């Protein structure tokens, strides 16, 4: 009986290749060479959820010398998707802090009752609500650099934040992007309106951080 490893590649080393609009294969690397695979051909392994262009896969870039290309234009999220997602996120964070402020106000009334302490209780309550923008900033930074690549609002709108090649953001880049939103807000939110005037639909903070807002391609 023959022992040792088999020479046949595993299913994870084989690729389904879209040829003339139809999935074919799976093919080994040698077979992909015979098919003269191009960087923009769509491929998929058994472990992948969705098809990707060949240049998006590091293994194929290394084997075939493909250059990484920016995302195609049809994948970019629209302004209305951004706006609705932002509204959902602000309502979510604001609602949490209003609830927390109300709970604290009731607790303070039990601890320090009396009309003479009303101003103190009100000041503490308002202070809690005033923390909403800071909490929203921290939440956005963590969510956009996390595995979902977006806040709850973005997830509901099926959009996510990525770099110019579709990869997830690092924490530092997410921090830069969200800090740069101050520039987009300046002068009556004109930084957000820039997305209407460039093909990648980037707002000013996206340009400053080299990021994109893209659609989830599983929706297409």
What are the pLDDT digits (tens) for 68-80? 877 776 789 999 9
Q: Is residue 3 part of a domain?
A: no
Taking CB atoms within 8 Å and a gap of at least 24, the contacts of 191-200 are: 192/79, 192/82, 195/79, 195/82, 196/79, 199/73, 200/73, 200/76
The β-bridge relationship of strands 52-53 and 159-163 is unpaired
Assess whether 106 and 29 both reside in one domain: no
User: pLDDT (tens digit, 9 = 90+) per residue, 37-48?
Assistant: 998 889 998 888
Residues 196 and 163 placed together within one structural domain of the fold: yes
Quote the pTM value.
0.71
What DSSP line would sit under 70-95, residue for residue?
PPPGGGBPPHHHHHHHHHHHHHHHHH
Same domain, 56 and 85: no
Across the range 55-82, mean pLDDT stands at 85
pLDDT of 68 reads 80
pLDDT of amino acid 187: 82
pLDDT-above-70 percentage for the chain:
92
Are 132 and 35 contained in the same domain? no
Q: Tens digits of per-residue pLDDT, 82-98?
A: 999 999 999 999 999 99
For residues 199 and 118, the model is more confident at 199
**Whether residue 115 has pLDDT greater than 80:** no
Number of domains in the chain: 2
- Do 47 and 141 lie in one domain? The reply is no
- pLDDT by residue (tens digit) across 123-167? 888 898 899 999 999 999 999 999 999 999 999 999 999 998 888
**CA-wise closest residue to 56 among 166, 199, 152, 148:** 166
Q: Is 52 part of any domain?
A: yes
**pLDDT value of position 12:** 58
Q: Is residue 72 part of a domain?
A: no
Backbone angles phi, psi at 141, to 5 degrees: -60, -45
**Domain of 36, in residue numbers:** 11-64
Q: In this structure, is residue 21 part of a structural domain?
A: yes
Residue 11's pLDDT band, with cuts at 50, 70 and 90, is low
């Amino acid at each position: 009986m023959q022992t040792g490893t088999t020479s046949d590649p595993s299913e994870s080393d084989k690729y389904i290749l879209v040829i003339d609009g139809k999935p074919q294969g799976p093919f080994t690397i040698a077979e992909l060479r015979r098919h003269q695979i191009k960087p923009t051909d769509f491929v998929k392994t058994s472990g992948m959820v969705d098809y990707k262009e060949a240049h998006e896969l590091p293994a194929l870039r290394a084997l075939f010398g493909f250059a990484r290309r920016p995302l195609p234009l049809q994948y970019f999220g629209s302004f209305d998707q951004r706006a609705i997602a932002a509204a959902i996120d602000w309502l979510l964070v604001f609602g949490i802090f209003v609830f927390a402020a109300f709970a604290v106000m009731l607790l303070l009334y039990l601890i320090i009752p009396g009309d003479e302490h009303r101003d103190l209780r009100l000041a503490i309550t308002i202070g809690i609500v005033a923390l909403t923008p800071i909490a929203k900033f921290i939440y956005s930074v963590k969510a956009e650099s996390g595995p979902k690549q977006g806040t709850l609002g973005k997830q509901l709108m099926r959009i996510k934040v990525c770099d110019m090649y579709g990869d997830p953001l690092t924490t530092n880049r997410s921090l830069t992007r969200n800090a740069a939103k101050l520039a987009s807000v300046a002068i009556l939110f004109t930084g957000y309106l820039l997305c209407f005037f460039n093909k990648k639909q980037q707002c000013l903070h996206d340009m400053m951080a080299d990021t994109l807002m893209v659609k989830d391609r599983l929706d297409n």
